[in-house]
Chain A
Amino acid sequence: MTLSTHLRALEAETIHIFREVAADFRNPVILYSIGKDSCVLLHLAMKAFHPAKLPIPLMHVDTTWKFREMIAFRDETAHRLGLDLLVHVNEDGVRRGVSPIASGSNTHTLVMKTEALRQALDKWGFDAAIGGARRDEEKSRAKERIFSHRTTQHGWDPRNQRPELWRVFNTRIRQGESMRVFPLSNWTELDVWDYIRAEGIPVVPLYFARERPVVRRQGAWIMQDDERFELEAGERIEMRRVRFRTLGCYPLTGAIESDATSLDDIIAEMRASRTSERQGRLIDHDEAGSMEKKKREGYF
């Protein structure tokens, strides 16, 4: 399928950003989170450096609570593309028994995602971390630069962002500081799906509707992905025809009831949808301005 002018322009912009990172940073990394945005990000990274091999390693920060299908897809993708995949787990958090169920979503996210990411960036000394975040996801993301500066403590200062003009990116950092880079900043959720369809990019099957064992919790359908998920009083597992609009830690990710089994179905469903993709993410609703707060602490 040929790309629309709109998607071609977005594709070119993303490739341009990847090349700037490769040229200006000593030790960049791509943060791969296995979801649809990461799939597009990786696909465009491969294009940006073709015919050379991807000169930037891929890293997954694993909370140990991802859907099993996600981990299988991750390993299969790295193998298929012949990529170096680094996986980091906050072992200290694991030892302390931090989990989305026992510790709550706030603590789990802070320890297993934000702290884990900081550990990983320090461990390998990465000076640029490329992520698949989009500005249309959330209000504080809409305010963030494409090249977003981080202090030595990985903190973001939203009130003092560098002006970012044209496509001239100020990539200068001091020793110990780093840059977060968002090549998909200007893509929307619909753009991502349109592009996945046009380019035939594989995605995790969880995005497609199927009968799955789910339980109603906090107004969301949560899938029982393994035996660690215990039912509370009054809850019962039902088989429902569901799919996921975003993917994260399975106890924190709500499914939607859907009959969309193909990319065409997903795109049609999205166009008709009246709720945002973040609706299914329990972590965003913890408190007002919660995403900005997490980002200032170093969350992606």
Chain B
Amino acid sequence: MNAPATLPTLRFFTCGSVDDGKSTLIGRLLHEQNQIYEDQLSALAKDSLKHGTTGEEIDFALLVDGLEAEREQGITIDVAYRYFSTPRRNFIVADTPGHEQYTRNMVTGASNADLAILLVDARKGLLTQTHRHAVIVSLLGIRDVVLAVNKMDLVRYDKAIYDKIVADFSAFAAPLGFVTVAPIPLSARRGDNVSNRSDQTPWYEGAPLVETLETIDVRNPAAGDFRLPVQWINRPDLDFRGFAGTVASGEIAVGDEIMVATSSRKSRVTGIYVASDTSQTARAGEAVTLTLADEVDIARGDVLCRPGAAPAVGEQFAAHVIWMGEEPMHPGRSYLMKIGPTLAPVVFVELHHRLHVATLEKLAAKTLALNEVALCKLAAGHPVAFDPYKDNRSTGGFIVIDRASNQTVAAGVIEYHLRRSENVHFQLLAISKDERAGQKRQTPKVLWFTGMSGAGKSTIANLVETRLHMRGAHSMILDGDNVRHGLNRDLGFTENDRIENIRRIGEVAKLMTEAGLIVLCSFISPFAVDRKMTRDLLAPGEFVEIYVHVPVDVAIRRDPKGLYKKALAGQIKNFTGIDQPYEAPTEPELTLDTTGATAEALADRVVAWLEERGAIPLLLAR
């Protein structure tokens, strides 16, 4: 164990269908490589009797199935990471679940792997899940695969069965772009061809599994142009400003020219720390801090590169997406994407096609459900720097996060940048009313205060708005004062103008609800048909008719603007309540009787009404 490893640590994972023996293989590997301690082995022996599926023998799967639910059900739910080393190499192994339901956990294990061990049960051959995993392995850019034909002991080490599986896989995998496919006939349970060559398969001329893993030279994923996604700005004092991050690919040296991908601003590297040591160079995989010659505006998420070898910068791109959310994907909904340290709003604009994983057929699709894979066009909320995933995993792979649940609902690998000419029309992906309102944490409403002149509509509406404002709600008042003097300046008081007045107010209120606002309208609006027109214009439940009631004799007594006096004197014609009827609402959402309560108390009632219906957030108890 003391010899220094010459090859870099190999990260690999096991995949394949349920019960193909993934966990057992890892358990066997760890056991044969003496990575299981005696106390763990005795606990395992006890466990095997209780939960095991191997009778008296030790069930090595229980070594990696660490969750209670897994042991009870005898299945792997989540990815487990294990570590071992041989004199030639260090290994990090991810044991991933085979159930389709837990594909997202398989994807988690696969994303950081250099190599995949794809297991096949010799008795069953290739299954749908084998195909699915092979496709995902390929999508995630893994180019080296060990095809482990397991349970050979159960088919009497039959070469013909083995050869057929290998041939079937070669045919299926031809379009998947694997560089190496190393088939090995083995039995994880009996240890054939795991650490040592098995006597049972004299016809097999290749290396056993461990030797294959020790010697395989996986493609260096870190080759390529210099990329440093900036994670954190190091500013201990005014004299030092460093840009910290992990070099995604390539290398850079003190004195080299660099560029900020999104702004194209250039500067020169004046100093490099690798971890905390000063250095002349920084290479892929190293956690570094750079200092620059100029005061360039750089923030978390910016990608530093060399001029002339910059990543793509844009808002729209095509990507293969693996959907991992329980709830299906909604085209047009605003999600968040995280690519390296960059967080950006993103929408799925178009589904190019869905991939049928068993046949690689391209299918038309409108949405994506759990575990489905599709090529999609996406649009980010602002320009981001990226590379095609095949060129760079760090700057080409992203996750999608649901804004409401904060769950990671998808993983994506960028295929290509959509140039402007290929861009889809932006109107299609406009932010929706729900999103605007959701951002304001409220439900849009039109509070329509109707009632006779002097009833107190404007007074109450103003008090309601003050309360809403103090609660952090977003609102706007429309009344005679701000509408008649501007938008409706051209309208008089004829029948047609009256209808047009209300129509315009309704349309403006509607636009404001689209903006997510709570709109307070106070207009006498004496005719039921006009109010109905506005109600119909809006979404169901949005129009809240509030009847501000006052007996006509009280209104005449109040007469704050002296209008009743003039009307009674015949100086104003068509005055509501005098020579024109007021059609009181028959089914208002709210009736406010202004003779029995103060304006403040009535305003409180309106706010409470909104609160009860969840239109505005409850006041938080602090």
Interfacial residues, chain A to chain B (CB-CB below 8 A): 4-6, 8-9, 11-13, 15-16, 19-20, 22-23, 46-53, 135-136, 138-143, 158-159, 161-170, 172-174, 185-186, 188, 271, 273-276, 278-279, 288-289, 292-293
Contact = CB atoms under 8 A, between A and B. Distances in A.
A186 B236 contact: no
A279 B232 contact: no
A23 B231 contact: yes
Contacts of A20: 231, 341
In the A-B complex, the 8 residue pairs with the closest CB atoms: A139-B66, A50-B276, A15-B287, A52-B236, A165-B111, A276-B37, A47-B276, A172-B406
A164 B341 CA distance: 14
Contact of B83 (A167, A186, A278): A186
Interface in B427-467: none
Interface residues of B, number: 68
A271 B64 CA distance: 22
A16 B37 contact: no
A142 B80 contact: yes
A12 B286 contact: yes
Contacts of A173: 406
B246 A12 contact: yes
B493 interface: no
A163 B105 contact: yes
A139 B64 contact: yes
A21 to B, nearest CB: 10
A143 to B, nearest CB: 5
Given A12-B285, A12-B287, A167 B394 contact: yes
B2 interface: yes
Contact of B67 (A4, A136, A174, A292): A292
Which of B69, B105, B341, B401 has the most A CB atoms < 10 Å from its CB?
B341
Contacts of A46: 276
Contacts of A288: 47
B566 to A, nearest CB: 56
Contacts of B394: 166-167
A15 B393 CA distance: 19
B83 A188 contact: yes
Interface string B235-253: 1100010101110000000
B40 A276 contact: yes
A23 to B, nearest CB: 5
Contacts of A275: 37-39
B399 A168 contact: yes
A167 B221 CA distance: 14
A4 B3 CA distance: 11
Contacts of A52: 234-236, 240
Contact of B232 (A19, A136, A165, A169): A19
A165 B90 CA distance: 21
A165 B79 CA distance: 12
Contact of A163 (B104, B231, B246, B339): B104
B397 A166 contact: yes
Given A9-B285, A23-B231, A163-B104, A274 B83 contact: no
Interface string B327-366: 0000000001011110000000000000000000000000
A132 to B, nearest CB: 16
B245 A19 contact: yes
A23 B398 CA distance: 18
Contact of A15 (B69, B240, B275): B275
Contact of A19 (B90, B287, B411): B287
Nearest to A274: B38
A59 to B, nearest CB: 21
10 contacts: A4-B5, A6-B90, A9-B8, A12-B287, A19-B245, A48-B244, A143-B79, A166-B393, A167-B246, A172-B406
B226 to A, nearest CB: 16
A161 B104 CA distance: 10
A161 to B, nearest CB: 6
A157 B9 CA distance: 31
B81 A185 contact: yes
A165 B411 contact: yes
Contact of A47 (B78, B83, B275): B275
B77 interface: yes
B245 A143 contact: no
A224 to B, nearest CB: 25
A162 B406 CA distance: 9
B374 interface: no
A142 B232 CA distance: 29
B341 A49 contact: no
Contacts of B292: none
A143 B236 contact: no
B367 interface: no
A4 B89 CA distance: 12
Contacts of B481: none
A161 B105 CA distance: 9
A172 B399 CA distance: 12
B4 A4 contact: yes
Contacts of A161: 78, 105
B317 interface: no
A51 B39 CA distance: 44
A158 B83 contact: no
B300 interface: yes
A88 B286 CA distance: 36
A17 to B, nearest CB: 10
B107 interface: yes
B399 A6 contact: no
Nearest to A273: B37
Contacts of A16: 231, 246, 287
Contacts of A139: 63-66, 80
A6 B92 CA distance: 11
A142 B112 contact: no
B490 interface: no
A201 to B, nearest CB: 13
Given A9-B8, A271-B2, 7 more contacts: A19-B287, A50-B275, A50-B276, A140-B66, A158-B69, A159-B69, A185-B81
Contacts of B47: 288
B289 interface: yes
A55 B68 CA distance: 38
Contacts of A143: 66-67, 78-80
B133 to A, nearest CB: 15
A252 B252 CA distance: 51
Contact of B275 (A11, A23, A164): A11
B360 to A, nearest CB: 23
Given A23-B231, A165-B108, A50 B289 contact: yes
Given A168-B398, A271-B1, A5 B66 contact: no
Contacts of A48: 244, 275, 287
Nearest to A22: B232
A50 B279 CA distance: 14
B407 interface: yes
B408 A142 contact: no
B228 to A, nearest CB: 12
B324 interface: yes
B273 interface: yes
Nearest to A43: B276
A13 B5 CA distance: 19
Contacts of B69: 158-159
